[in-house]
Chains A and B, each alone.
Chain A
Amino acid sequence: MNNKERMELAKWASNFAIKKGATEAAVSISRSRAVNIEVREQKLETIRESTDNGLSLQIYRENKFSGHSTNNLNKRQLETFISEAVEATQYLSPDPDRALPDPSLYPTDTSKDLGLVDPGHGDVTPEYRVKTAMETEQLLRQSDMEILSTAAYFSDTTSEGVRVHSNGFAGDWGSTFFRMSASLSVMDAGARPSGSFFAGQRFLNDLPKPSEVAQNALEDTLKQLGQQKIASGRYTMILDNRIAGSLIGRLFQPMSARNIQQKNSFLDGMLGKSIGSSHLTIIDDPLIKGGMASRHFDNEGIASRRRVIIENGVLNNYLIDNYYGRKLGMTPNGGSTSNIIMGYGNRNQKQILDSQQKAIFVTAFNGGNANSTTGDFSFGISGQLIENGKVVKALNEMNISGNFKNLWNQLVETGNDPYPYSSLQSPTLVFSGVDFSGI
C-alpha cells in the first residue's frame, strides 16, 4: 500500500465511522519498515526485519470521545472494528470540549519539502549494513583496555503515513532514519563498565564514519574507569551535551496544557514570568529542513509553527493541545514538541571544563525522577571530578537533588555545542551550587 492508497482507506474509514453514528472522526494509517543488525566478535549476532502497519481512529460521537488502534487493515474486518468502536463510545460521558480541532488550526500548505526522506534509502544492501557494523566492531577491539565484549549495530527505518479528519484535514508524510551504534564492556578492578555511542540521521551520508562511532564509544568507556563516590556537597555541575537534553525534556510535561488544567504542574500560573536564568532559552522549531523531528502538522493535525517556549528565562508558551486548550480557553498551539533549539553561549565543552576550579562533570544519569507538581527532582549520576581544569577522579553512585524552580535559576552558562544526534539539541549546561550526595 502506498500513501495514495492509505489516503483512500483513511477517507473510507472516516466516512464509515460517520455512517455508523460518529459525529466526527480522525483516522491515521501508517507503515514502518525496519532492519536491525548486531555484530559481535566479527560475527552477525542478530538480524531483525520488521514491517508494522497501523490504523488509529478517534471517534467523536455527540461530544463523547474514544480512540482505537489496530494492525489489521483488512477492510471487512475494519468494518466490524469501526462499528464496535462507534458503538462503545456512546456509553461514555458527554464532554463539551471533545471535538476535532477547529479547521483554522490545520496547515494550509504542506508542499514544502522538509527533507525527511533519503531518496537513496532503497539502495542500502544487507552487505552494506553488515560491512559497516563489522568495521565499527573491529575498531572497538583496538584498545588497551581489557575488553569483555564488543558490539556494533546498524539499523535503517522507513516510515510513511496519512492523516484524515472528517472536518476537512488530509495530510501525508514520509521519513527515513539511519542509525549506527557501538558498545563495549571492559574489566576494571572488579567492576565491568560499559560505554556506548549512538548516532542517528535522516540521510545515510550524514552518518558519522565507523571510526568516529567506535572512538566515541571507547572514550565513553575510558571516562568510567576507576569510578568511585566522593563526599556529599554543593558543587558546580557541568552537564554533558550528550545527556543534557534529558533534563531539558523534564520541563515539557509540567508545561503541557493537561498538567496545567489538572493543577498538576509547578509551572501553573507562570506564563509570562521568569522560571529560569537569562541563559535559558528554548525554541521549538518543527520546520527545520532535515530535522530529526520536523513535520508540517502534529498528531492532531495542528499546523506546525516555530514557537519560542522560554526566552531568557521567561516562560512564553505552554504546550497546548486541542482538548486541554479548549478546557483552559486557550488557543491550541500543539501539545507536543518537535526539534528543540536552545540559546547557545560562546564556549565549547573543553573550554568550559578547562576553566573550572572545582566542578562535577556529569556524563550520565542513572535513574531518578522528578515531581511535575512540585518541581522536586532527584537523579542518580556518574561523571568526573574536575579540579583546576583537570579530571582528577571518575565518579559514580552519586545523586543530584533539588527543585527545578531553583535549578533553572542556577543555570550560569550554556555551551556553543548543540548535540547533533538528537531532536533536542542541548548544548553543555553549567549550573552553580547543585546538591550532590555521595559518601
Chain B
Amino acid sequence: MNKNFNRRDFLKTGSIAVAGTVLLPSILSGCMSGTQASSPLNYQLHDYLNHFGVTQKMIMDVLAEGLSRGGDYCDLYFQHSISNTVALEDNMVNRAFSNVSFGVGIRVISGEQTGYSYTEDVSANAMKSAASTAANIANSNTRMKVMALGEKTLPNYYKINTPWEEVSINEKIPFLQYMNDKVFLLNPAVEKVNVSFSDQTSYILFANSEGIIACDYQPMSTLNASCVAEINGKREQNSYGTSGRQDVKFFSTANLDRIAKEAVDSTMLLFDAVSPRAGEMPVVLAAGSSGILLHEAIGHGMEADFNRRGESIFSDKIGKKVAESFVSIVDDGTTPNNRGAINMDDEGNDVQETYMVENGILTSYLHDRISSKHYGVEPTGNGRRESFRHMPLPRMRNTYMLNGPHQKDEIIESVKYGIYAESFTNGQVRIGPGDFTFYVKQGYLIENGKMTRPIKDVNIIGNGPRVLSDIEMVANDMEMSEGGWTCGKGGQGVPASMGQPTVKVSKITVGGVNA
C-alpha cells in the first residue's frame, strides 16, 4: 500500500537497509579542500563545509533562490552516509555489503505548504536548480530575506571514541565468529546460526534562511544474532539484537556473551509455548521493549501533524486526564547513545525531554516546525527525516514511561488469568480510530498470580486512549529497550527507541484460540 496516505504507522525491529564493507569513505576524496581535522569526531564547521565542497556564500545563494517565489522559509540538509554490514551464515563470514549515499535536500515552506527537492550533485548550479523547483510551492510578491549565517553549537548525546570509518572489516569479523561459536556451544539443539553486524555514519550539515548553520556526526551500530533449533523434528527460530549510537567498545565479550545467551534462550523457550485463550484479558508488559505500547498507543497519535488536521484520536484531549496520576510518558531525544538520540532535530531545533503525559494529564504534542507555528508553541525537536531525500515530519525519538509506585511481583500476583508479554517484533496504529497492535514474539501465561507456561506469536490489539486509562499498575523498574527499532511513517524510516517499567493493563484483546 501507498504509505504516503495510509494513516497507519508501523514499527519494526531490524535495520532497514543493507549496508557494507568499504574500509573508508571514498566518495569525497575528490572534493575536499583546505586542511581537515584528523578524525571526523573533531570536525568543525569548516571541515563539514569542505567535506561537502560548499561555502557559506553558496549556501546563502541557494537559500535565496529557495525564497525567490515568496516562500516564508527555506532550509538545506546536506547528508553523507556510509553504511557497512558484514554477516555470518553456515559458520562462515561470507558476505559483506556497503552503501554510500550523498546529497542535499532543499525545502521551502509557505504557510503550511511545502516544496521539496533534492540533488545528489552539490554544485552551485545543481543546488540552485533544485531550490528553484522547491520555490514553486510559493507564489507571492513578498520576499523574505536570508539572514546571515551563525553557527549553532550542539550538545553531544552520542559521545564515542572511535569513528566507525576507522574500524576495518578485519576487526568486525572476529565478533561474528565469536557469536556463532558461542551460540552453538550454548545448546546442542541449535542447527543454524545467523549473525549480522552493521554500522552507519552520517555527516550532516544544516542551514536555514533564519541564519542557523550547524553540523552533526551521527554514528549507529547494530548487532543481531538469530538461531534455528530443532528438537524431535520440530523447529523454532528466534533472535536477539542490540543497536545504538555506540562505538566498537560496546561490543565487549560480556555484551557478546549476553546477546548470544538471549538469542538461544528465547529460541528454546518457544518449544514449550502454548496459545493463550482468545479475547480480552489483563496484560502485564515486561520492563524494556514493552515501551512499544507507548509508541503505538499514544506516541504516533501525539505527532502534531495528525492533530493540526484533526485526524488523531488525541486531537481534542490536551489538558485532559487520560491516565492514572502515576502515569507519566515522555519522548526524549537526549538519552545518551539510544537509537533515537539526536543532537538537533533534522530542521535545526534543539531536542528536549518532552512530556506527552504528566501525572496522568495529556500535556504536549510532538512538534515539527510547521505544527509548532500552527499551535504557536516552541518546537519540541521532533522534526525528523529518513535522509536528505525526505522532508521532515513530527516523529518520536526515545519514548518511555517513568517509574511508578508498584512492584513487579505484586503486579504479577494481581493477575488471575492473563499474559506477561516480554519481547516484540512489530507494531502498528490507526491514528484516527486509535486502534493499535503489537506482536508478542514471546511471553508467559499468568495463572493464579504466577507466570506459568511460555506463549509465542500472538498479536495484541487495543484502543490507545482506552488502554491508557486502563493502566492499573506501574512498577519502579524502568528499562530502555536496546533493540534495533525503526519507526515508519509516510514512507520514511527513522531509528527510535523506547522503554517502560513493568506495567499492568486491566484488559486488551489477545490473539489466541477459542475453546
Contact B427 A367 (CB under 8 A): yes
Contacts of A132 in B (CB 8 A): none
Give the residue among A88, A153, A379 with the most B Cβ atoms within 10 A: A88
Q: Report how far A191 CA is from B173 CA in the complex, Å.
A: 52
22 residue pairs of the A-B complex, CB under 8 angstroms, read: A77-B27, A77-B29, A77-B30, A88-B23, A89-B96, A92-B96, A93-B93, A94-B94, A148-B432, A191-B313, A198-B2, A264-B192, A368-B511, A369-B457, A379-B511, A380-B461, A382-B430, A399-B511, A401-B512, A435-B278, A437-B510, A438-B279
Given A52-B120, A437-B509, 9 more A-B residue pairs with CB atoms under 8 Å apart are A65-B95, A71-B100, A98-B94, A183-B6, A192-B431, A198-B2, A368-B439, A373-B237, A438-B278
Q: Report how far A182 CA is from B103 CA in the complex, Å.
A: 31
Give the residue among B103, B191, B432 with the most A Cβ atoms within 10 A: B432
The count of residues in chain A whose C-beta lies closer than 8 Å to any C-beta of chain B is 94
Q: Report how far A264 CA is from B103 CA in the complex, Å.
A: 39
* The 5 A-B residue pairs with the shortest CB-CB distance in the complex, in nearest-first order: A367-B437, A437-B278, A367-B428, A399-B511, A192-B432
Contact with A along B17-28 (1 / 0, CB 8 A): 010111110110
Within A188-223, the residues touching B (CB, 8 Å) are: 190-194, 196, 198, 200
* B375 contacts chain A at the CB level, 8 A cutoff: no
Contact A371 B514 (CB under 8 A): no
Q: Give the A-B contact count at a CB cut-off of 8 A.
A: 306
Q: Which of B107-115, B143-151, B357-365 lies at the interface?
A: B107-115
Contact of B279 among A376, A402, A437 (CB under 8 A): A437
Given contacts A46-B115, A232-B278, contact A435 B512 (CB under 8 A): yes
Within A357-383, the residues touching B (CB, 8 Å) are: 366-374, 376-380, 382
Contacts of A315 in B (CB 8 A): none
Cβ-closest chain B residue relative to A268: B235
Contact A374 B236 (CB under 8 A): yes
The smallest C-beta distance from A360 to any residue of chain B, in angstroms, reads 13
Contact B4 A153 (CB under 8 A): yes
* B311 contacts chain A at the CB level, 8 A cutoff: yes
- Chain B interface size, as a band, is 35 or more
* A289 contacts chain B at the CB level, 8 A cutoff: no
Contact A194 B4 (CB under 8 A): no
Contacts of A263 in B (CB 8 A): 191-192, 228, 230, 235
Contacts of A49 in B (CB 8 A): 116-117, 130, 133-134
* A3 contacts chain B at the CB level, 8 A cutoff: no
Q: Report how far A372 CA is from B5 CA in the complex, Å.
A: 29
The smallest C-beta distance from B304 to any residue of chain A, in angstroms, reads 14
Given contacts A45-B113, A84-B26, A194-B431, contact A369 B192 (CB under 8 A): no
Contact with A along B329-357 (1 / 0, CB 8 A): 00000000000000000000000000000
Contact with A along B282-313 (1 / 0, CB 8 A): 00000000000000000000000000011111
Given contacts A69-B99, A71-B100, A71-B103, contact A198 B1 (CB under 8 A): yes
The smallest C-beta distance from A2 to any residue of chain B, in angstroms, reads 17
The smallest C-beta distance from A438 to any residue of chain B, in angstroms, reads 6
Contacts of A198 in B (CB 8 A): 1-2, 5
Contact B4 A36 (CB under 8 A): yes
Cβ-closest chain B residue relative to A150: B309
Contacts of B103 in A (CB 8 A): 71
Contact B98 A72 (CB under 8 A): no
Q: Report how far A67 CA is from B228 CA in the complex, Å.
A: 26
* B391 contacts chain A at the CB level, 8 A cutoff: yes
Contacts of A200 in B (CB 8 A): 2
The smallest C-beta distance from A406 to any residue of chain B, in angstroms, reads 11
Cβ-closest chain A residue relative to B26: A80
* A81 contacts chain B at the CB level, 8 A cutoff: yes
* B118 contacts chain A at the CB level, 8 A cutoff: yes
Given contacts A67-B18, A77-B26, contact A227 B433 (CB under 8 A): yes
Contact with B along A165-188 (1 / 0, CB 8 A): 000000000000001011101000
Contacts of A227 in B (CB 8 A): 433
* B400 contacts chain A at the CB level, 8 A cutoff: no
Contact A70 B100 (CB under 8 A): yes
Contact A89 B21 (CB under 8 A): yes
Cβ-closest chain A residue relative to B28: A77
* B162 contacts chain A at the CB level, 8 A cutoff: no
Contacts of A163 in B (CB 8 A): none
Given contacts A71-B120, A84-B24, A263-B230, contact A193 B457 (CB under 8 A): no
Q: Report how far A80 CA is from B97 CA in the complex, Å.
A: 16
* B458 contacts chain A at the CB level, 8 A cutoff: yes
Cβ-closest chain A residue relative to B1: A198
The smallest C-beta distance from B285 to any residue of chain A, in angstroms, reads 16
Cβ-closest chain B residue relative to A197: B5
Contact A181 B2 (CB under 8 A): yes
The smallest C-beta distance from B233 to any residue of chain A, in angstroms, reads 10
Classify the secondary structure of B's interface with A: strand
The smallest C-beta distance from B118 to any residue of chain A, in angstroms, reads 6
Give the residue among A46, A52, A151, A233 with the most B Cβ atoms within 10 A: A46
* A129 contacts chain B at the CB level, 8 A cutoff: no
Contacts of B230 in A (CB 8 A): 263
Contact B309 A149 (CB under 8 A): yes
Contact B426 A369 (CB under 8 A): yes
Contact with B along A46-79 (1 / 0, CB 8 A): 1111111100000000001111111110101100
Q: Report how far A214 CA is from B420 CA in the complex, Å.
A: 44
* A87 contacts chain B at the CB level, 8 A cutoff: yes
Contacts of B101 in A (CB 8 A): 70-71
Contact B2 A194 (CB under 8 A): no
Given contacts A232-B279, A263-B192, contact A46 B391 (CB under 8 A): yes
Given contacts A74-B30, A264-B228, A376-B456, contact A185 B438 (CB under 8 A): no
Q: Report how far A401 CA is from B460 CA in the complex, Å.
A: 11
Contact B279 A369 (CB under 8 A): no
Contact B509 A66 (CB under 8 A): no
Contacts of B6 in A (CB 8 A): 183, 196
Q: Report how far A199 CA is from B451 CA in the complex, Å.
A: 49
Within A227-280, the residues touching B (CB, 8 Å) are: 227, 229, 231-234, 262-264
* A282 contacts chain B at the CB level, 8 A cutoff: no
Contacts of B120 in A (CB 8 A): 51-53, 71-72
Given contacts A191-B433, A400-B511, A435-B513, contact A88 B21 (CB under 8 A): yes
The smallest C-beta distance from B335 to any residue of chain A, in angstroms, reads 26
Contact with A along B357-392 (1 / 0, CB 8 A): 000000000000000000000000000000001010
Q: Report how far A436 CA is from B113 CA in the complex, Å.
A: 43
* B194 contacts chain A at the CB level, 8 A cutoff: yes
* B156 contacts chain A at the CB level, 8 A cutoff: no
Contact A93 B94 (CB under 8 A): yes
* B102 contacts chain A at the CB level, 8 A cutoff: yes
Contact A262 B194 (CB under 8 A): yes
Cβ-closest chain B residue relative to A36: B4
Contact B133 A397 (CB under 8 A): no
Contacts of B96 in A (CB 8 A): 65-67, 88-89, 92
* B7 contacts chain A at the CB level, 8 A cutoff: yes
* B137 contacts chain A at the CB level, 8 A cutoff: yes
Given contacts A88-B22, A378-B457, A401-B511, contact A50 B27 (CB under 8 A): no
Give the residue among B10, B29, B116, B433 with the most A Cβ atoms within 10 A: B433
Q: Report how far A46 CA is from B109 CA in the complex, Å.
A: 9
* A396 contacts chain B at the CB level, 8 A cutoff: yes
The smallest C-beta distance from B195 to any residue of chain A, in angstroms, reads 13
* A353 contacts chain B at the CB level, 8 A cutoff: no
Contacts of A264 in B (CB 8 A): 192, 228, 235, 237
The smallest C-beta distance from B442 to any residue of chain A, in angstroms, reads 11
